Structure 1
C-alpha cells in the first residue's frame, strides 16, 4: 500500500482500467492527477462517464493533453508515482493503415514520458504492458521469463514500449516496473472488447461473432483484481521486474458464452468466422511472481465478474435509452 497522502499521476485516466485505478487511489486518500487525450478510438462521452466519479472528488485533477507534446514537467511536478496506462489498444485494428497511431500512442508517447522523468525524484513508474507481447507462447501457464513473440502490430508496440521503459531505467535510474495484464474485463470495458460485444449482441438478439472454433482459451482478469495488483506494484520492491497479472485460470470462449447464457437467461446465437490474424490461440498466466513479490491474488471468479459486468451493462444501456427518450 502506498503511503497516504501522496501525489500520483495516472495516464490514460479516462480509459477502462485507468478510471477504476483513479477511483481506487482517491479512495486510498491520494491526490490524483489524471492525463488523457480522449482519442477517438471510442466515444468521448463514454470516457467522460468513466471519469464521473473521480471528477466529483476534490483531490482529482484532469489534464486533457497528448503525452507527445504536453508540458509534462509541469504536470508531473511533485508526483511520487506515475501509473502509465495510456496507449492505443486493440489487436485487430492495429493491422493496416492505422499503425502510425499505435507507434505514436504506444511508443513515442512512452518515450516522451520517460524523457520527462529523467531528472525527477520519482519513487516508482508502473508501466501497463500486455499479455499480447507473448503472442503464441510455447508453454502454459506462461512465465515472465518466456521469450516474447508478439503476433500483432499492437503486441509489438507494447513490447517496444516495455523495452524503452527498461532502457531508461538502466541508463537514467527511473525506478520502473512492468505489469503484463491478461484480458481485463468488468464494468466500463471498452465497447470493442469481447464481453461487451457479446452482451450487445445478446440484448439485440443478434448472432455473436466467434473468430475460430471457440475453443481458444484466454486468461480473464477482473478489473478490480488488476487495479489491486497495480496499486501493490507501486509500493513493492519490484524495480526492474516484469510481472504477470492474470485471473488464475484459462477458459475457452465457448465456456464464457455458456456462462453468459446462464447469467443472462438469453439464448446465445453463435456465428463462427475465420480466426483473426494476430489473435493467439491460447493465453495463460503464471501468477506465482505476483503472489510472491506483490502479495497479490485474484479474488473475483469469472462467473462473479461476468455477473457484475452484465448488471453494469444493463444499467448503462438503460441510462442511454432513458437519455435518448427525453
Structure 2
C-alpha cells in the first residue's frame, strides 16, 4: 500500500512509520512541519532508524500549505496523526495553534479526500474528549472535554463524521489513552520524571499523585493503529486504544524508584487543570474487531523508556 502518515516526526507518528516499513512492502510518505519547538530542536532524531529507508519519503511542510489533491494521488491510506498536543498549553492565546493544526488542517485534508480514491483515513483522537468519567469508558459514552485541547480533537472527530455521512469519506477514529515509551514528548509526565531522576533532580508533580490513567505502551498503540489499515469493514467506527494496566501517578513514581534504585524527592508543581482524575478505556471493541490485546506491562514499558532516556540524556 501507499500510505501517508502526518506528524511523522512525532512520538507516535515516528513509531508508526517504522512499524509500517518493517511489516510489509508499504511505501510510506511522512509529512511533518516540525512546528513544535521540541521537534525544531531534535529535528529528524525520532526518524533516524528509517529516515534513509528506500520506501520512505519525508515531506517537510505545514499541512495547511499542502496541495492535497496532488498529494493524495495513488494513496491508499492516510494516518492523520499530526496535531498540536497537550492539555496544559492549550489555554489562552496558544489555542490559535490548536485551531489551525487540529481543526483547520483536518478540514482541508477531509475536503480533498472527497474527490480522491482514498480507501481509508484514520484520525488520531484522544481520551481527553470524554472528560471526567467513572469506571471503564466505552466508545458510546458522552463526550465532555475539560480543556481546549480536548475540544479541538473532538471538533476534528466531528468533522470526520460530517465528511463521512455527507460525502462518504472513509474515516476511522481512534481514541488513544495516555501513550508512553521511547521518544515520548518531554512535557509528558513519564519523560519528565525519568529525566529528573536521571539528573538527581526533584520530581515535579502536578496534582496530588492519586490521579490514575490507562497507560498505553507505544508498541501496543502502534500495532493496533496499523491493524486498522487492513480491515475493510471499519469505516465510520470510533475505537478506544488503551493499555494493559491502569495506575496512579504515585505508583508510577514507586516503579521508577525500583527501576533506578533511587529515592525520589517530590515537589508539588500545582493543581491539575483541564484533566480528569481518572481514565479507563473499555477496549472490548478493539479486541473484537482488531484482535487487539495490549502486551506490555507498565513496569516493562517504563524500563524501556528509562533505558532510552538514559542513553538520550547521556
TM-score relative to the length of structure 2: 0.97
Partner Cα distance (2:93, 2:28) in 1:
35
Please point out which of 300, 303, 311 is paired with 2:299. 303
Corresponding position: 1:133 with 2:107: no
Task: Tell me the residue number matched to 1:41.
Answer: 37
Partner Cα distance (2:181, 2:116) in 1:
34
Corresponding position: 1:155 with 2:150: yes
Task: Tell me the residue number matched to 1:81.
Answer: 77
Partner Cα distance (1:42, 1:96) in 2:
20
Please show how residues 160-171 of structure 1 align to structure 2 within 5 Å: 160-171=155-166
Please show how residues 47-62 of structure 1 align to structure 2 within 5 Å: 47-62=43-58
Corresponding position: 1:223 with 2:218: yes
State the Cα deviation string for residues 192-214 of structure 1 (Å, max 9, x = none). Answer: 11111001111222111112211
Please point out which of 55, 59, 64 is paired with 2:60. 64
Partner Cα distance (2:148, 2:72) in 1:
30
Give 1:249 shift: 2.3
Task: Tell me the residue number matched to 2:9.
Answer: 14
Gaps of 5+ in 1: 1-5, 319-326
Match of 1:42, SS state, is helix
Please point out which of 165, 173, 177 is paired with 1:178. 173
Give 1:233 shift: 1.3
Partner Cα distance (1:264, 1:161) in 2:
40
CA 47–284 in structure 1, closer or farther in 2 if over 3 Å, else same: farther
CA 194–183 in structure 1, closer or farther in 2 if over 3 Å, else same: same
Give 1:94 shift: 0.2
RMSD between aligned alpha carbons?
1.0
Corresponding position: 1:247 with 2:230: no
Partner Cα distance (1:263, 1:238) in 2:
40
Partner Cα distance (1:256, 1:46) in 2:
27
State the Cα deviation string for residues 255-297 of structure 1 (Å, max 9, x = none). Answer: 0000011011121111124322101111110000000011111
Match of 1:266, SS state, is coil
Partner Cα distance (1:40, 1:185) in 2:
18
Give 1:248 shift: 3.0
Corresponding position: 1:259 with 2:260: no
Conserved 8 A contact 1:248-1:287 = no
Stretches of 4+ aligned residues off by more than 6 angstroms: none
Conserved 8 A contact 1:248-1:285 = no
Give 1:225 shift: 0.5
Please point out which of 189, 207, 224 is paired with 2:202. 207
Task: Tell me the residue number matched to 1:3.
Answer: none
Give 1:47 shift: 4.0
Partner Cα distance (1:311, 1:173) in 2:
45
Match of 2:196, SS state, is helix
Please show how residues 105-116 of structure 1 align to structure 2 within 5 Å: 105-116=101-112
Match of 1:86, SS state, is coil
Partner Cα distance (1:45, 1:54) in 2:
19
